[in-house]
Every structure is written in C-alpha cells, then in structure tokens.
C-alpha cells in the first residue's frame, strides 16, 4: 500500500495547545495501553503499520512541520516538503512526483491520499487498502472513500453515488450545505466526502504535467512558489468523468474543534487537574506544571499551556479562530528534530528558553550575528562544539555563546538547558547553518 498523508493546518482551532508550528496532529492527546500519550500523527502512522507493515508512507507537509514529524516518527519517514502553501492540488502533485522520482514507485501502482488527522479504527485503514486495490483495477481514474453520514452535517461536502452498491459510480458532488439541504442529500443516499483519493500514480502525474510546466520532482520543487493556489477538488475531481466511491460505515471523526476532540478523549483530565463532584462534562487539559481546579462547571473545556489559557463552553469553542487570528503572539512551544523548546520569559531585549534535547540527538551547527546566548545545563550529560572546539558539559555547566560564534550541543543522556538570549534581534531569521566537520 502506498499512502500520502496530507499534514497541513495552521494550528488555530485548538489554541492554546496548537500554533503555527504545532498543528493539532502533533499534540499528544491519546492515551495508550502503557499509559503514555501519542499524537494524531503517531496514532495514524501506527494504525497504517498494523494493517500493512510494508506500506510506503509519505507525509506531504510544510517546512515548518518537518522537525515535529522527525521528532515523533524518526528521520526515516518519507516527507514531501512544500516550500510554501499552495493548497491541495500542488501539494498532491509534488508528493506524487516525490513518490515516483525519489521513492521509485512505478506509474502503474496505486496511491491513496488521505488526511493525517481522522480519528478512526483500524478498519478504516483496511478500507483504504481496498480503495487502493479498486484504483489498481483501473475501472475508474479516481476512487474516493465516502463516509456513511450519521447526521445532516454542515461541515462536509457530499458525494452523490449512482446506486447503493458497495462500489458505485459518482453522479455529482455537493458543496457544504445547510442542515436542511444536507438532510435531503442524505435521504437521496449521499455520503460524506472524507477527503480520500486513490489513483494510479501515472494518472495523477499526467494531470500534473497538463496543468504545470515541469520536468521532474526537483524541477517542480524549485518552481513551487510560482504555482497557482488551487484545491485538488477543483483542479482534478470536478473535471474527471470516471469516478467511483466506496462506502465506509465504521468510526470516523474529524477532530477539528475542542468540542469534537473532547468526545474522543478517554479521560476527563490530562495533566495536573482536579474537579469537584458538581462538574459535568468538563474537560481539563493542562500542559503547565501547576494544578488546575474547576468547580460547578457544565460542558466546559479548560486548557492551559505556555501559549495561553482557554476557558470555553464546548459548543462555543468552535468559534475560536477569529480571536486567535487577532492575537500577535510569539510561538512559545515547539517540537524539534532534537527535542523541544519552551519559552519561559520574554523581555524587551531578552528571551529565556527551556530546551530539552533527547539522548543521542544534536542541534544543527549554527551561528547568530545579532545576539548573544548563554547555555545553563540543568540536567544531563553531553557536549558542546564552540567554533570547532569540543567541551564536555553536565549539570551546572555554563557556556557563553557570543554573537558570531558557531555552536551546537548534543546529548549523551537527556539534556535540560536554560538558554538566555540577549540582543535587539531575537528572531529565527538571525541564524546561519553550517556543516560540522
């Protein structure tokens, strides 16, 4: 099975846990049997592997999410990096070129494209395998997965099949309707559009070459910023005459808001929290190292993180986006390929940051021209390279990093570091990477 997972999103609807870098699929909400937590991304990746251990998995994502993906899945996972956002058709075209030119998948093989963040059972991924096999047959150029509706939703588009067979020709598509119109679609046998597309790789590459002037993956990557923003639905689906849909009636939830997400969580409190007996349908998610107490609340979500604090009626939480869009906020937490950082304090010309570097990991060798830094080693053992000179560090070590020096840190054991930055320009743009000799 060849699967492309679309990993997008700007991290607005699940604020304060999500941000521009940490989209919802990277937040560890879901408790595993061993008591640890996993993210949507980790859960979906594990479920695919449980169905097909040899599946080719490619994640189509923006450059800002690559570090988080490496952190959660390791560096061996296939990633098709979008240099900038250009909507789903360019993203899928680039991923298809990556799968063909870099991973060596043949044009006659079927590829299944699906979102990275559905909350589903393993049966869903077994169904994706069937969708891929149906596309491999070649009786239609596109095969979609349609979800049997459970209510007249206004959030999804609708697929109108020609009949009630398990595999049907698609008659037409309907945009997101109001609830009354949605009910008429359902009464006529319509299915929710799950955003799943399967096709032979050669078909999609042919469509890409029709609409974009490029030679191969690297050429397309170079030209990506010049491409027109257009969705896969508008560019391909609405112009394709032979489309089939397969029905899926198992568990499928789009966890796009706090209200829908809390329905899928297995426990009412994640992190330090307490609620009295008068609370009903209350959810506490606390990433801070301080306790949260709720009393007398009904149908409320309380979420705390370094990014902020949310206290909201669950049904109102779906309207959070315009308020978050209006905030001018620095990203306070993010996962990196080497671990994570958490901003503790923001001054006029200073930043205090807690770095957690995982054992065996190392930062990129780099320098800053307009700021000084100090690393205070709080826990663990590792070494620092400073302008080519190697220093052993441990709890209690202090390393000064003047502007212009090249530096990196690597962890022998898990390392906790307090980094203090001082200067007039404390932005990500003031960074230059180098190869460590």
Specify the pLDDT at position 403: 96
In this structure, CATH architecture of domain 2-254: Alpha-Beta Complex (3.90)
Q: Which helix (H) or strand (E) holds 357?
A: strand 350-357
- How many CA atoms are closer than 13 Å to the CA of 357, on its beta-carbon side? 27
The token duo for 95 is: 């991923």
Q: pLDDT digits over 65-76, tens only?
A: 999 999 999 988
What is the three-class DSSP state of 232? helix
What pLDDT is recorded for position 10?
Answer: 61
Nearest to 15 by CA among 274, 331, 276, 233: 331
DSSP 297: -
Domain range 338-433, its CATH number among 2.60.120.10, 3.40.50.10260, 3.40.50.300, 3.40.50.720: 2.60.120.10
Question: How far apart are the C-alpha atoms of 97 and 68, rounded to whole Å?
Answer: 23
Give 174-215 pLDDT, tens digit per residue: 888 899 999 999 999 999 998 999 999 999 999 999 999 999
Q: Please report the pLDDT score of residue 322 as a whole number.
A: 92
Domain boundaries, the chain: 2-254, 269-319, 338-433
Structure token digits, residue 77:
């996972």
Same topology, domains 2-254 and 338-433? Answer is: no
349 is written with which tokens?
Answer: 């010309």
Which residues in the chain land under pLDDT 70?
Answer: 9-11
pLDDT at 19: 81
Question: pTM to 2 decimals?
Answer: 0.85
Q: Say what the pLDDT of residue 358 is.
A: 96
**CA-to-CA dists, residue 129 to 141, 372, 429, angstroms:** 16, 53, 43
CA nearest 94: which of 65, 69, 58? 58
CB 220 within 8 A of CB 93: yes
Distance (Å, whole) CA 336 – CA 344: 17
Q: Are strands 283-286 and 300-305 parallel, antiparallel or unpaired?
A: parallel
Pair 289, 272: CB distance under 8 Å = yes
SS3 282: coil
Integer-rounded Cα Rg, in Å, for the chain is 24
Who contacts 385 (Cβ-Cβ below 8 Å, separation ≥6)? 365, 391, 406, 407, 408, 409, 410, 436
């Amino acid at each position: 099975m060849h699967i492309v997972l679309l990993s997008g999103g700007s991290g607005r609807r699940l604020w304060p846990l999500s941000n521009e870098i940490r989209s919802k699929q990277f937040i560890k909400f879901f408790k595993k049997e061993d008591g640890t937590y996993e993210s949507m991304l980790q859960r979906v990746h594990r479920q695919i592997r449980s169905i097909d251990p040899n599946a080719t998995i490619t994640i189509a994502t923006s450059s800002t999410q690559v570090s988080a993906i490496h952190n959660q899945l390791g560096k061996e996972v296939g990633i098709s990096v979008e240099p900038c956002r250009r909507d789903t058709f360019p993203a899928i075209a680039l991923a298809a070129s990556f799968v063909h030119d870099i991973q060596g998948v043949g044009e006659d093989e079927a590829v299944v494209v699906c979102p990275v963040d559905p909350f589903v059972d393993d049966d869903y991924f077994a169904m994706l395998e069937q969708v891929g096999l149906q596309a491999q047959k070649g009786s239609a150029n596109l095969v979609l997965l349609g979800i049997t509706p459970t209510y007249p939703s206004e959030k999804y588009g609708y697929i109108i099949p020609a009949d009630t067979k398990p595999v049907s020709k698609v008659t037409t598509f309907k945009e997101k309707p109001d609830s009354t119109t949605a009910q008429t679609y359902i009464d006529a046998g319509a299915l929710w559009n799950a955003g799943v597309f399967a096709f032979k790789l050669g078909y999609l590459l042919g469509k890409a070459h029709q609409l974009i002037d490029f030679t191969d993956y690297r050429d397309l990557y170079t030209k990506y910023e010049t491409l027109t923003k257009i969705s896969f639905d508008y560019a391909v689906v609405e112009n394709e005459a032979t489309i089939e849909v397969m029905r899926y009636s198992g568990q499928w939830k789009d966890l796009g808001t706090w209200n829908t997400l809390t329905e899928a969580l297995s426990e009412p409190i994640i992190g330090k929290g307490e609620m009295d007996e008068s609370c009903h349908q209350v959810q506490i998610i606390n990433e801070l190292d301080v306790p949260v107490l709720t009393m007398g609340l009904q149908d409320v979500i309380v979420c705390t993180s370094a990014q902020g604090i949310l206290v909201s009626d669950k049904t109102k939480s779906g309207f959070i986006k315009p308020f978050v869009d209006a905030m001018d906020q620095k990203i306070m937490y993010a996962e990196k390929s080497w671990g994570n950082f958490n901003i503790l304090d923001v001054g006029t010309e200073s930043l205090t940051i807690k770095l957690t570097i995982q054992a065996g990991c190392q930062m990129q060798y780099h320098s800053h021209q307009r700021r000084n830094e100090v690393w205070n080693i709080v826990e663990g053992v590792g070494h620092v390279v400073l302008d080519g000179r190697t220093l052993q560090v441990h709890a209690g070590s202090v390393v000064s990093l003047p502007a212009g020096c090249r530096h990196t840190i690597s962890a022998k054991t898990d390392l906790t570091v307090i980094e203090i930055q001082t200067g007039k320009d404390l932005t990500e743009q003031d960074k230059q990477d180098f190869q460590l000799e």
